[in-house]
A and B are shown apart, each in its own frame.
Chain A
Amino acid sequence: MKQSIFTVKSNQHLTDTVLKMVLAGDTSAITASGQFVNIKLDGFFLRRPISVCDYNEKTLTILYKVVGKGTQYLSTLAAGKQLDILTGLGNGYDTSKSGMHPLLIGGGVGVPPMYRLAKNLLEEGKKPEVILGFNTKAEAFYIDEFRALGVPVHVATADGSLGTKGFVTDVVKTLKDYTYFYTCGPEPMLKALSDVTETSGQLSFEERMGCGFGACMGCSCETKYGNKRICKDGPVLEKEEIKW
């Protein structure tokens, strides 16, 4: 974990409620896809934990949805604004277990961490296949960015306005020969995927956090491997350890 000051480079709407923010700063503490950062915002007591979409040596990209006052404030920030950010939080995804053909399944604001994960798997010579789920076509984002990586991309929308009508699980049921799965999204989706998938996998969880770095025990959960803190021992848990 590292605490450092980042500078907003851009902050643009991808949909009505989802924005992409690119920040410049020290990303050296980020070691894996699926980790998150915790952002201090003027006028708010607790930091805002947001998953890492992508990063390089000097910049960090986050995609976030406006869901409350904190993210509403974040959406108003212009280029040049400086932010106090804790980076390198959480365990992130372990790509060593993926096999050659893992499925990457993102639902709504669970889509962003799949992007860096897909890049990492491609760099390792693997062939990831991506499934993105949204409520409607209007809420969909980052599909072209995933396609630009050269991976197969399936889209499901609940109302059928784009891609397969239904949920990501409806797409997963049609796929065979995958070796592993990685996912992030709302908990009902994670539970449904845990039931429908035929392989092991890693699932990233969301919880209201206090500190985001393991100190307060605010986001604890019970697993088959003992009590874990979503922020520090997670947010990624293995399918086999989860108590639903």
Chain B
Amino acid sequence: MVNTKVTLSGITLDNPVIPASGTFGYGYEFAELYDINILGSFSFKGTTREPRFGNPTPRIAECTAGLINSVGLQNPGIDKVISEELPKMRKCFHKPVIANISGFSVDEYAYCCERIDKEDQVGIIEVNVSCPNVHHGGMAFGTSPEAAAEVTRAVKAVTTKPVYIKLSPNVTDIAAVAKACEEAGADGISLINTMMGMRIDLKTKRPVIANKMGGFSGSAIFPVAVRMVYQVAEAVNIPVIGMGGVSSAEDVIEMMLAGATAVQVGAANLVDPFACKNIIEDLPRVMEQYGIKDLNEIIGGAHK
């Protein structure tokens, strides 16, 4: 028997596999397909203070080994998330969940995090300072160490649960942003969010995405994500959740070797609704193949 249990800020997960925010809704629709309690946890759809429809369509453009999305944080707003979505989620998922929070001002981050902090089932608050889709939005916070730290401090002041800051890869020095968040009190770092990308339709000679640009994700960005997780893990002493193009049990192990304690799976869920289930079922076999008895032994193993 191999050990797949890992611990994030005192919360033990049965395995490190976590569907990433925005690719898994609030879980209950996937629960019709399989028992989602096999997951380590999951990060629910990014939530803002007000309801948002998001960006105009087309919001999706296919790429080699990935896709660009420009959903623009569509969500029902924090009131409805708490009153309608979380009760539905609770019926099908019985483990601590990761609440993903976005905002357009420091006050909004603090307001939403304070509200969600009171929800019993929330184990970790994941603060998205990196969504690249919204003008005057998350982008500004995640691209500056000072701004990311300001959000972290504001959120930490009004919450009791572990706060993980989810970073944007669209920066020159991601380690500096991560360090600033750690110094501001962050309990962990999630990375990477999507990379800014663009496609142009040769027939119309116009951008495919209505909003012109969007966030690129999928297996194509996996090497970039591994590199950034490695850099951040080297720079900070708080846990890292690694994500970006993860689509197999081998990818999970590689991400952990780079320094991740847990791993999120995003775009792969959109191609295969059973992606996380398949990865979890495959993980013990791949661990044995590489002589790994306990996943905790390999976290950051590539740094030696």
Contact = CB atoms under 8 A, between A and B. Distances in A.
B64 A219 contact: no
A83 to B, nearest CB: 14
Interface stretch (B24-32, B100-108, B153-161, B186-194): B24-32
B54 interface: yes
Interface string A175-198: 000000000000000000000000
Q: Which of B29, B57, B267: most chain A CB closer than 10 A?
A: B57
Nearest to B214: A218
A45 B57 contact: no
Contacts of A209: 60
A135 interface: no
A211 interface: yes
B274 A219 contact: no
Q: Is the interface of B mostly helix, strand, loop or mixed?
A: loop
A166 interface: no
B58 interface: yes
A219 B32 CA distance: 21
Contacts, number: 88
Contact of B57 (A40, A86, A208): A208
Interface residues of A, number: 25
Contact of B74 (A210, A211, A220, A232): A220
Interface string B153-183: 0000000000000000000000000000000
B58 A211 contact: no
A46 B29 contact: no
A221 B74 CA distance: 11
A47 B62 CA distance: 10
Contacts of B57: 207-208, 218-221
A45 B62 contact: yes
Contacts of B208: 208
Contacts of A47: 271
B288 to A, nearest CB: 27
B22 A217 contact: yes
B259 interface: no
Q: Is the interface of A mostly helix, strand, loop or mixed?
A: loop
A62 to B, nearest CB: 19
B93 to A, nearest CB: 15
B271 A215 contact: no
A210 B67 contact: yes
Contacts of B64: 45
B227 to A, nearest CB: 21
A46 B67 contact: yes
Contact of B22 (A214, A216, A232): A216
Interface residues of B, number: 35
A218 B272 CA distance: 16
Given A214-B25, A227-B74, A207 B273 contact: no
B130 interface: no
B61 interface: yes
A1 B22 contact: no
Contact of B59 (A46, A86, A213, A218): A218
B215 to A, nearest CB: 11
B87 to A, nearest CB: 19
A208 B219 CA distance: 20
Contact of B69 (A44, A214, A216, A227): A216
A65 to B, nearest CB: 14
Contact of B61 (A3, A86, A208, A211): A208
B270 interface: yes
B71 A211 contact: no
Q: Which of B22, B65, B67: most chain A CB closer than 10 A?
A: B67
Contact of B270 (A208, A216, A232): A216
Interface in B181-210: 208
Interface in A40-56: 40, 44-47
Contact of B23 (A1, A40, A215, A220): A215
Nearest to A40: B271
B271 A45 contact: yes
Interface of B: 22-25, 29-30, 32-33, 45, 53-54, 57-67, 69, 71, 74, 208, 218-219, 267, 269-274
Q: List the 5 closest pairs (A to B, CB-CB), nearest first.
A: A211-B270, A218-B60, A208-B58, A217-B74, A210-B60
29 contacts: A1-B32, A1-B33, A3-B273, A3-B274, A40-B272, A45-B64, A45-B65, A45-B66, A45-B219, A45-B271, A46-B60, A46-B271, A208-B57, A208-B59, A209-B60, A210-B59, A210-B60, A210-B69, A211-B269, A215-B24, A215-B269, A216-B22, A217-B45, A218-B69, A220-B53, A220-B57, A220-B71, A220-B74, A232-B29
